[in-house]
Amino acid sequence: MDFSEAITIWYFENKRDLPWRCTNDPYKIWISEIILQQTRVAQGLSYYNRFIEHYPNVKDLANATEDEVLKDWQGLGYYSRARNLHFTAKCIMDKFEGVFPKTYEDVRSLKGIGDYTAAAICSFAYNQPYAVVDGNVYRVLSRVFEIYTPIDSIQGKKEFSKLAQELLNPKKAALHNQAIMDLGAVVCTPDSPHCEDCPLNEMCLAYTNRTFAKLPVKEKKTKQRDRFYYYFFIQNGDKTYLHKRGDKDIWKGLYEFPLIEKEEELAEDEILHLHDKNELSEFSNLKINRIHKSIKHILSHQRIHACFIECTATYDKAKESQYLEISIDKIDEYAVSRLTELFLEQKG
Ligand code: SF4
């Protein structure tokens, strides 16, 4: 039995019943793939269902506002992906007359769609012979063939794509791709793979040689940058204040409380005088009522240490301001980062 046969037989018996598996609508497959790049299946399911309910087709997504799309994406992180979804839906309306493109080249040309997503859409929706290579596939292939080339090197990317393409059964591209991804997710897991239950164990070199814990190899260690955020949750009667984040930084387009960012962590007495130095100048009579314990929030290249400060103040509407005055009980209508959402949940 060859590689493709072994995994597809296993897949028939073990496949997970997921809504995006029961469709060949490229729009739905695209939405599911972008969501699943962010999260595990269990959490992704509710986001997928909400997206499809709110935007059942490309046209509905294109007609939504960016704020609406970001609100539905809230909590998933990597908000540029949500903005790209929205941008690309508009582009499909303009350039492809609202019909999802059908060739790999056209699909790959869309913003936010890389090699992996283009292969997933073209194989799942149209059964075109493009092999997917995601984290699960890298893991399975590096172990079965005991390949030590780093998966994040240029050479590694080429080598694994070539191998994945050679192994693909072109007549059963959708099935083969789904099978290898599921096998990586469920059986060939990063820690303690279930080799005894694996349909590839007879041909797997890492199993024979007991080397699976060393594979796959990665060469780059991501550098982490620490940032210290001091958020002012200002209450002015039943009003509070939000700011919309701008370009060239994390969380573009999301809303947040007035923020002062520092290079290092501040002591409590420094926090008490933080707003004196001409920052937050739109607010007067600022009185701090509570300084919350700092929350650490890890992103791919950054560690955000966020301290939320509850205070009261008056607001000088006459000054030109970057802040939006809103009713506190309307705050749920604004898309915020998972960090701010956590604070609001904890605060109750
Ligand atoms: S035998 Fe084990 S290491 Fe090899 S592919 Fe299967 S689960 Fe992974």
- CATH code of 148's domain: 1.10.340.30
Residues 88 and 208 in one domain: yes
The CA-CA-CA angle for residues 106, 109, 114, to 5°, reads: 115
Q: Is there an atom of ligand 1 within 6 Å of 232 CB?
A: no
Strand partners, 327: 239
Contact by Cβ (8 Å): 193, 203: no
Cis omega (within 30 of 0) for bond into 216: yes
Per residue in 2-21, pLDDT (tens digit) is: 999 999 999 999 988 788 88
Quote the pLDDT of residue 266. Answer: 87
Structural domain count, the chain = 2
CA distance 17 to 37: 19
Q: Is there an atom of ligand 1 within 6 Å of 137 CB?
A: no
Strand partners, 234: 311
User: 219 in a domain, yes or no?
Assistant: no
* AA letter at 119: A
Out of 214, 244, 277, a domain closes at 214
> How many whole angstroms from 187 Cα to the centroid of ligand 1?
7
Among 137, 142, 143, which residue has the most ligand 1 atoms within 8 Å of its CB, making it the best to mutate? Answer: 143
Out of 191, 214, 237, a domain closes at 214
CA distance 113 to 119: 10
Catalytic residue among 33, 159, 256, 282: 33
Which DSSP state fits 294? P
User: 170 in a domain, yes or no?
Assistant: yes
> How many whole angstroms from 148 Cα to the centroid of ligand 1?
15
Quote the pLDDT of residue 166. Answer: 97
Instruction: Tell me which residue range forms the domain holding 38.
Output: 3-214
Quote the pLDDT of residue 164. Answer: 98
Total number of residues shown for the chain: 348
Closest Cα to atom 8, ligand 1: which residue?
188
Please report which residue ranges of the chain form alpha helices under DSSP H. 3-14, 26-36, 41-54, 58-63, 66-73, 79-95, 104-108, 115-126, 135-144, 154-167, 173-186, 205-208, 268-272, 338-347
Which residues of the chain are modeled with pLDDT < 70?
277-278, 318-319, 348
Residues 121 and 58 in one domain: yes
Quote the pLDDT of residue 260. Answer: 92
Quote the pLDDT of residue 40. Answer: 81
Distance of CA 59 to the CA centre of its chain: 23
Q: Is there an atom of ligand 1 within 6 Å of 139 CB?
A: no
Atom nearest to 204 CA in ligand 1: 4
> How many whole angstroms from 178 Cα to the centroid of ligand 1?
17
Quote the pLDDT of residue 21. Answer: 83
User: CATH number of the domain that 284 lies in?
Assistant: 3.90.79.10
Residues 196 and 337 in one domain: no
* AA letter at 54: H
Quote the pLDDT of residue 211. Answer: 95
DSSP 122-187: HHHHH--S-----HHHHHHHHHHTT--S-TTSHHHHHHHHHHHHHH--GGGHHHHHHHHHHHHHHT
Strand partners, 239: 236, 327
Quote the pLDDT of residue 337. Answer: 92
As given in the structure block, the two tokens for residue 326 are 């809103």
CA distance 283 to 137: 54
3-class SS of residue 119: helix
Residues 63 and 159 in one domain: yes
Q: Is there an atom of ligand 1 within 6 Å of 180 CB?
A: no
Per residue in 19-51, pLDDT (tens digit) is: 888 899 999 999 999 998 877 888 889 999 999
> How many whole angstroms from 232 Cα to the centroid of ligand 1?
50
User: 210 in a domain, yes or no?
Assistant: yes
Out of 189, 214, 239, a domain closes at 214
Q: Is there an atom of ligand 1 within 6 Å of 188 CB?
A: yes
Distance of CA 338 to the CA centre of its chain: 12
> How many whole angstroms from 163 Cα to the centroid of ligand 1?
17
Quote the pLDDT of residue 276. Answer: 74
Task: Based on the residue annotation, tell me whether 202 is a catalytic residue of this protein.
Answer: no
The half-sphere exposure of 95 on its side-chain side, counting CA atoms within 13 A, is 14
